């Protein structure tokens, strides 16, 4: 017998967060999310997302045993930005049992319908500004930092329930050996030409981190605003995310483009902290996880390009190429020999071509699903 329980923070939040650790037990590619980070993400008092939106968590039990979880989400920023009455589902995890998945989808769907919404999109946990999408391939590879990892059967659940593809996103991968040296050399000429137009590229100034992040917020909401599935972030949300990322930031991998002192684009890349987090048992930093995190960071040899964008009016000038080239060069200097660039919208021809130009290749595809109610 399958039962669905509606929970609210903090009741049973530990069970909600810990369920994936048991579901993926023995999977060598699984990386546990840090418990403290997940708790903050789901806490209405700590996550600025809840200043404008809301979320309902559900747990699924079969014969008294925890077998799945899901969140139903009303994102008011998305509704206001798009004009569409879409709801979302996220944080989905379940055993390989379609009836469990169906009951979880039913619970999320009914909550979303009661909110007066007419469609459901997902997975987003809780929005496309955090972890989103299910990967359809490369189940033999671990996720990089702040990327999703899921069971191969999830897409089958979605198809059977009636979800359809909304849009795909690509994750590109390139190694130091495969990267186009010509593209890196040419970027030097691009950068010199940009300087003649008053455009310079530099690393993030950590001494003025708050000021830098505030300026980057404007660029973020403008550079991506026409992308499908984009949701703008409030200042509080963006600053909250930047302060979290600051903990793992390498300033040499975070670049800013300026035109006469005004930020017109940025590229933030991060060492793949998942190479360390995979050994932090059940996502707990205490009592020993913090030591693994501190002592093993020097072993990280991969990075992820998390966000890279340039505002309209400054595109196709070579800024994007310079970002990639400088990131690769600076990454090599700290011992990084491979990089993932993700997630790239399948219809974003300019960004896809820029990555192809440096010999990066698509190695994972992530999908967002939708269902009309």
Residue 289 has pLDDT above 80, yes or no: no
- Return the closest-CA partner of residue 308 out of 333, 328, 287: 328
Share of the chain above pLDDT 90, in %: 88
Structure tokens at 279: 């050994």
Residue 93 has pLDDT above 80, yes or no: yes
Find the mean pLDDT for residues 168-195. Answer: 92
pLDDT of amino acid 171:
98
Q: Which residue segments constitute the domains of the chain, with CATH numbers given?
A: 2-169 (3.40.630.30), 173-365 (3.40.630.30)
pLDDT of amino acid 261:
86
Helix (H, G, I), strand (E, B) or coil at 70: strand
Residue 266 has pLDDT above 90, yes or no: yes
Residue 219 has pLDDT above 80, yes or no: yes
Find the mean pLDDT for residues 204-232. Answer: 92
6 pairs with which residues across the strands?
58
116-161 pLDDT, tens digit per residue, is: 999 999 999 999 999 999 999 999 999 999 999 999 999 999 999 9
Residue 291 has pLDDT above 70, yes or no: no
Structure tokens at 110: 């009914």
Residue 294 has pLDDT above 70, yes or no: no
- Return the closest-CA partner of residue 93 out of 27, 174, 40: 27
Question: Could you tell me if 265 and 314 are in contact, meaning their C-beta atoms sit under 8 angstroms apart?
Answer: yes
pTM over 0.85: yes
Q: What is the mean pLDDT of the chain?
A: 94
Burial annotation 272-288 (CB, 10 A radius, 16+ → b, else e): bbbbbbeebeebbbeee
pLDDT of amino acid 183:
86
- Could you list the beta-strand ranges (E) of 155-206: 164-175, 199-203
CA angle 17, 19, 24 (to 5 degrees): 120
List the single range of 89-98, 117-126, 187-196, 197-206 with lowest mean pLDDT: 187-196
List the single range of 127-131, 175-179, 341-345 with lowest mean pLDDT: 175-179
63-72 pLDDT, tens digit per residue, is: 999 999 999 9
Q: Which residue has the higher pLDDT, 70 or 229?
A: 70
Burial of 28 from C-beta contacts in 10 A (0-12 / 13-18 / 19+)? exposed
**End-to-end Cα spacing for the chain:** 26
Question: Could you tell me if 289 and 215 are in contact, meaning their C-beta atoms sit under 8 angstroms apart?
Answer: no
Residue 187 has pLDDT above 90, yes or no: no
Q: How many CA atoms lie within 13 A of 332 on its CB side?
A: 13
């Amino acid at each position: 017998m399958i039962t669905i329980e509606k929970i609210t923070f903090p009741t049973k939040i530990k069970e909600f967060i810990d369920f994936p650790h048991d579901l993926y037990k023995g999977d060598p590619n699984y990386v546990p999310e840090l418990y403290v980070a997940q708790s903050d993400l789901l806490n209405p008092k700590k996550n600025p997302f809840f200043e404008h939106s809301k979320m309902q968590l559900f747990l699924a039990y079969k014969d008294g045993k925890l077998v799945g979880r899901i969140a139903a989400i009303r994102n008011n920023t998305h509704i206001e930005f798009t004009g569409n009455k879409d709801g979302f589902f996220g944080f989905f995890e379940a055993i390989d049992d379609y009836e469990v998945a169906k009951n979880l989808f039913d619970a999320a769907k009914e909550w979303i319908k009661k909110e007066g919404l007419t469609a459901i999109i997902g997975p987003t946990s809780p929005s496309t500004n955090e972890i989103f999408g299910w990967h359809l391939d490369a189940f033999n590879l671990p996720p990089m930092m702040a990327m999703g990892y899921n069971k191969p059967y999830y897409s089958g659940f979605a198809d059977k329930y009636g979800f359809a593809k909304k849009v795909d996103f690509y994750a590109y991968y390139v190694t130091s050996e495969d990267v186009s040296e010509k593209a890196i050399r040419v970027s030097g000429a691009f950068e010199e030409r940009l300087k003649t137009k008053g455009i310079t590229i530099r690393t993030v100034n950590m001494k003025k981190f708050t000021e830098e992040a505030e300026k980057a917020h404007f660029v973020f909401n403008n550079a991506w605003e026409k992308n499908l599935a984009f949701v703008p972030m409030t200042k509080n949300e963006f600053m909250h995310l930047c302060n979290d990322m600051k903990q793992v930031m390498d300033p040499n991998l975070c670049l800013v483009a300026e035109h006469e002192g005004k930020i017109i684009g940025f590229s933030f890349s991060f060492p793949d902290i998942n190479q360390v987090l995979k050994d932090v048992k059940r996502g707990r930093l205490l009592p020993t996880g913090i030591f693994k995190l501190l002592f093993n960071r020097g072993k990280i040899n991969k990075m992820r390009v998390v966000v890279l964008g340039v505002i309209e009016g400054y595109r196709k000038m070579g800024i994007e190429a310079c970002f990639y080239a400088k990131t690769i060069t600076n990454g090599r200097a700290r011992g990084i020999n491979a990089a993932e660039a993700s997630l790239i919208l399948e219809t974003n021809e300019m960004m896809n071509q820029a990555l192809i130009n440096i010999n990066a290749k698509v190695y994972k595809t992530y999908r967002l699903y939708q269902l009309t109610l």
